Amino acid sequence: MATTNDLKNGLVLNIDGQLWTVIEFQHVKPGKGPAFVRTKLKNVLSGKVVDKTFNAGVKVETANVDKRTMQYLYNDGSDFVFMDPDTYDQIHVGPDVVGDAAKYMLENQDAIVARHDGSVLYIELPASVVLEISYTEPGLQGDRSTGGTKPATLETGAEIQVPLFLEAGTKVKVDTRDGSYLGRVN
């Protein structure tokens, strides 16, 4: 248990049996009336964001979420297998939990695995990853960086939009949050 005075960004709260992460919080002391805390909370499982106001000093239940860097080993056909680099323990994570992160994960890549009471809540990748383009239409003479874009398939199977001049075999930096092209990597 904690009070609203202990709130900070990233803290996970257990409200009515659901886990919510604090995205933003603001202590407000109006001229009249009691102080309160205005928060923006994100549901850990669904990603839904809500605004919630607490009276100052009210007790809130915190949840113990274990965030650990683990190495993605392989996909066994149904689940994704992650290994703890310290203990070598392996865990199996279902595709519904991994979600869109699967589009940007390569074998032996590190990811943050968040667990609560033994169950995996979500997988968090770095903000950007470097992947190789496995297929895209060849560029034509005159295609430059200021032109349009074309679809390209990455080595993980994900499809993103890249500038016209890029060709297969080029390594690119990709934003894992929205799948946007960030630049070419030499």
Q: Specify the CATH number for the domain of residue 161.
A: 2.40.50.140
Instruction: Assess contact for 159 and 112: CB atoms under 8 A.
Output: no
DSSP characters over 94-152: -HHHHGGGGGG--TTEEEEEEEETTEEEEEE--SEEEEEEEEEPPP-TT--TTS-EEEE
Last residue of a domain, one of 11, 33, 60: 60
Give per-residue pLDDT as tens, 53-111: 999 889 999 988 888 999 999 998 889 999 999 999 999 998 888 888 889 999 999 99
Q: Are residues 118 and 132 in the same domain?
A: no
**Domain of residue 75, residue span:** 66-124
Last residue of a domain, one of 23, 44, 60: 60
CB-neighbour burial class of residue 136 (10 A; exposed 0-12, middle 13-18, buried 19+): buried
Supply the pLDDT for residue 110.
93
Q: Are residues 136 and 176 in the same domain?
A: yes
Nearest to 61 by CA among 113, 108, 131, 11: 11
Give kind and range of the element (H or E) at residue 36.
Answer: strand 36-43
Domains identified in the chain, total number: 3
Q: Are residues 81 and 46 in the same domain?
A: no
Q: Are residues 132 and 119 in the same domain?
A: no
Give per-residue pLDDT as tens, 150-179: 899 999 999 999 888 888 899 999 998 888
CA–CA distance, 167 with 138 (Å, rounded to integer):
6
